[in-house]
Amino acid sequence: MRVRRAQLEDLPTVEALWRELAEEIPPPAHEGSDAEEELAEVAGIVASGVALLAEADDGTAVGLALARPRSDGHATLTDLYVRPPARRTGVASALVRAVVDALRERGVECLDLEVTASNTLARSLYARWGLREEVIVMAGTLAELERRLGPGEEASVGSIHVQSDDLSAVEQAVRRFVPRLPGGSRGSLVTPPRNGWIAVYDDVCDRDPAQLRRLARELSDGLGAVTLALGLERGEVVRMILLERGRVVDEYLSVPEYYGPLPPGDVVGLQANPTVVARLTGAEPEAVRRVARTAATPAALPPAPELLAALAEVLGVEGAGHGWAGAPAPEGSVRIERG
């Protein structure tokens, strides 16, 4: 096997190897693919860059390396390809050694390249050669990005669900406790019982998730009832708090360390306890376990609004995931206006 410079008369061979590479490893989706444009760049490298061919003893081309020097003393290895029968025989290393020699002649000191994240074999090889990751390109469709962003980076909404059939008692408790909340609530909504739960929505609790938790605790304590607070925070994470007679008996946050690092015990504490949730809500423990998952980042979970809706369905509560302004108001609901 020998490595030599590719000449303009070798362009058909170079193009054939490049097409094999493109077929085996298509370019990343975010870059698109224009074969004719790419081949024009390949021809430019053969003419004025560094283009090398590896040939078997019978003269058959078995590998290709292309590099484009830049004026800042750097160069990019644009393509490196070895035909499958010749792999693991040192062809790739020989090609890159020849690239290094050719670039040194041009005063180049540093080399970079791009490799798709899924090409783990190539990444491992480049790492062994001493190349390191310096820039990570992340790509995705606008549709997926929009879906994951949800209603807005800072959008928070929440609802409280009181395990009671006494609409009047819950209404009076809301009238009593909400004025104590800081932030100047513009109004509240109390809906009739559905599946044994009375839903409460409040303007200040949408704007401040901490006040949602506070009102849930006040209502649970004042009414002596099982109370559930469900919230979508910053459009990215879901929080559930289950209270019994004013005492928190379970809390769930879909991304436990979303707001910062926590001690390991606190991270575990923010995972839903299916047994406790089942005892107080009647939900199936396995369903709670399946839906109330946690992760290190929001991207590792379903979009937060979808996760909240799924959790509410498992718990048997209706109307979760809506803010005070857009909450469903079935017949018999009580709207409390302020200011």
CATH of the domain at 23: 3.40.630.30
**For the chain, percent of residues with pLDDT exceeding 70:** 95
Q: How much is the average pLDDT of 153-157?
A: 69
Do 166 and 111 sit in the same domain of this protein? Answer: no
Q: How much is the average pLDDT of 116-142?
A: 84
pLDDT surpasses 70 at 51: yes
Number of separate domains in the chain: 2
Do 34 and 102 sit in the same domain of this protein? Answer: yes
Task: Identify the band that residue 72 occupies on the pLDDT scale cut at 50, 70 and 90.
Answer: confident
pLDDT surpasses 90 at 192: yes
pLDDT in tens, 78-128: 999 999 999 989 999 999 999 999 999 999 999 999 888 888 888 888 898
Do 79 and 155 sit in the same domain of this protein? Answer: no
pLDDT surpasses 90 at 337: no
Residue 144 lies in a domain: no
Task: Identify the band that residue 153 occupies on the pLDDT scale cut at 50, 70 and 90.
Answer: very low
Residue 16 lies in a domain: yes
Residue 135 lies in a domain: no
Task: Identify the band that residue 328 occupies on the pLDDT scale cut at 50, 70 and 90.
Answer: confident
Secondary structure in 3-state letters for the chain: CEEEECCHHHHHHHHHHHHHHHHHCCCCHHHCCCHHHHHHHHHHHHHHCEEEEEECCCCCEEEEEEEEECCCCEEEEEEEEECHHHCCCCHHHHHHHHHHHHHHHCCCCEEEECCCCCCHHHHHHHHHCCCCCCCCCCCCCHHHHHHHHCCCCCCCEEEEEEECCCHHHHHHHHHHHHHHCCCCCCEEEECCCECCEEEEEEHHHHHCHHHHHHHHHHHHHHHCCEEEEEEEECCCEEEEEEEECCEEEEEEECCCCCCCCCCHHHHHHCCCCHHHHHHHHCCCHHHHHHHCCCCCCHHHCCCHHHHHHHHHHHHCCCCCCCCCCCCCCCCCCEEEECC
pLDDT surpasses 70 at 33: no
Do 162 and 268 sit in the same domain of this protein? Answer: yes
Do 162 and 249 sit in the same domain of this protein? Answer: yes
Q: Higher-confidence residue: 133 or 301?
A: 301
Q: What is the pLDDT of residue 293?
A: 96
Q: What is the pLDDT of residue 147?
A: 61
Task: Identify the band that residue 14 occupies on the pLDDT scale cut at 50, 70 and 90.
Answer: very high
Average pLDDT, the chain: 90
Q: What is the pTM of this model?
A: 0.57
Residue 143 lies in a domain: no
Do 116 and 164 sit in the same domain of this protein? Answer: no
Residue 145 lies in a domain: no
* Domain span holding position 233: 151-337
Q: What is the pLDDT of residue 151?
A: 52
Q: How much is the average pLDDT of 70-79?
A: 89
pLDDT in tens, 208-233: 899 999 999 999 999 999 999 999 99
Do 6 and 115 sit in the same domain of this protein? Answer: yes
Do 95 and 192 sit in the same domain of this protein? Answer: no
Residue 134 lies in a domain: no
Q: Higher-confidence residue: 139 or 172?
A: 172
